[in-house]
Amino acid sequence: MGDILDRLDELSLFEGDAESYVLEFVEDRGLLDGLPENLQPYFDTEAFARDMLLGGDIEEVAIMGRRFVVWGC
């Protein structure tokens, strides 16, 4: 947590859980745009969110009962 406080100006926050963040991340970047519509539901957002968490790309934190995704630290 000390590292986060030292680098607050480099952080980005998303209010919600990792899976909600991934849904928005994928949509905003059009990552599934080249995939036929009938195959898009097979994209596993839960697994992608888990991999981003395990890989250190994002972190989930709870602050005053609210969940946030943090990245950039």
The CATH fold of domain 2-71? Arc Repressor Mutant, subunit A (1.10.10)
Query: How far is it, in rounded angstroms, from Cα 43 to Cα 47?
Result: 9
- Can you give the pTM of this predicted structure? 0.79
User: pLDDT digit of tens for each residue in the chain (73 aa)?
Assistant: 566 667 667 778 899 999 999 999 999 999 999 999 999 999 999 999 999 999 999 999 999 999 999 988 6
pLDDT for 12 equals 87
Tokens of 11: 């952080």
- Nearest Cα to Cα of residue 12 among 55, 58, 50: 58
Mean pLDDT of the chain: 90
pLDDT for 50 equals 97
